[in-house]
Amino acid sequence: MPRSRLLTSADWPEPELRAAVLAGELVPVGPCWASPAEPQTPDLRAAAVAWAFRDPRLLAGTRTAAWIWGATSRPPAPLEACIPPQVRLHGDGGVRVREVLIGDDDVVRLASLGVTTPLRTAVDLLRTPGGDFGTAEADAVLGLVAIGAVDVDAVEERLSGLGTIPMARQATRRLRALQRSPAQSSPGQSSPAQSSPGQS
């Protein structure tokens, strides 16, 4: 992907970038910026996240992956990454890193960044531990469904195949509750990003 599609704080001082946003000359793309005419594609969002992650071993997961796929209008703060247990590294203050068991089939590469597939992203969001599962996670799952990135039946089938893995049953209950929620029948009411190019 051409590097010129994104601007970062390494290119211009951040106050100048933010001033350009106010002037309508740039729009934010997660931690980066781009021309308002630049299509907000998964590749562009992935490139922005890759710049923030810096370490190519970090994989974009959960709400960060949902944003890359276009299911939410904004990325989480801090960004959320995952790594296999055998990888030893830590993100900086702008990246939350968690260890997960993950297979090659659950990751795709976009703009040099490893990103969990929409199906794996939905499953991971639904398996968010206990009280950490909130509106943002629910909206991200609904967003993935609303944009057609995942099919509810496929998510339920994947969850049922997890057996006794922690949070699998809770995740299935959450999915069924989301199917009954008003936001599921009116996806435009939640935060899925069928967004204009000016949104990040």
pLDDT (mean) for 9-25: 96
The strand pair at 107-110 and 113-116 is best described as antiparallel
Residue 121 covered by a domain: yes
Confirm whether 18 is domain-assigned. no
pLDDT above 50 (res 191): no
**Model pLDDT, residue 102:** 93
* Residue span of the structural domain in which 126 resides: 57-189
pLDDT band (50, 70, 90) for residue 90: low
The confidence score (pLDDT) of residue 128 equals 95
pTM for the predicted model, two decimal places:
0.87
Number of domains within the chain: 1
Lowest mean pLDDT among 55-64, 145-154, 161-170: 161-170
Residue 124 and residue 76 in contact, taking contact as beta carbons nearer than 8 Å: no
Residue 41 is predicted with a pLDDT of: 97
* Pairing, β 79-83 against β 59-60: antiparallel
The percent of residues in the chain predicted with pLDDT above 70, rounded, is 86
User: What's the pLDDT tens digit per position in 98-152?
Assistant: 999 999 999 999 999 999 999 999 999 999 998 889 999 999 999 999 999 999 9
Q: Which of 115, 128, 36 is nearest to 75 (CA)?
A: 115
The pLDDT score that the predictor gives to residue 183 is 54
β-pairing verdict for 95-99 and 79-83: parallel
Share of the chain above pLDDT 90, in %: 75
How far apart (Å, rounded) are the C-alpha atoms in residues 162 and 131? 21
Q: Is residue 107 part of a domain?
A: yes
Residues 6+ apart with CB under 8 A from 67: 30, 45, 73, 74, 75, 76, 140, 193
The rounded distance, in Å, linking the Cα atoms of 32 and 12 is: 11
CB count within 10 Å of CB 154 equals: 13
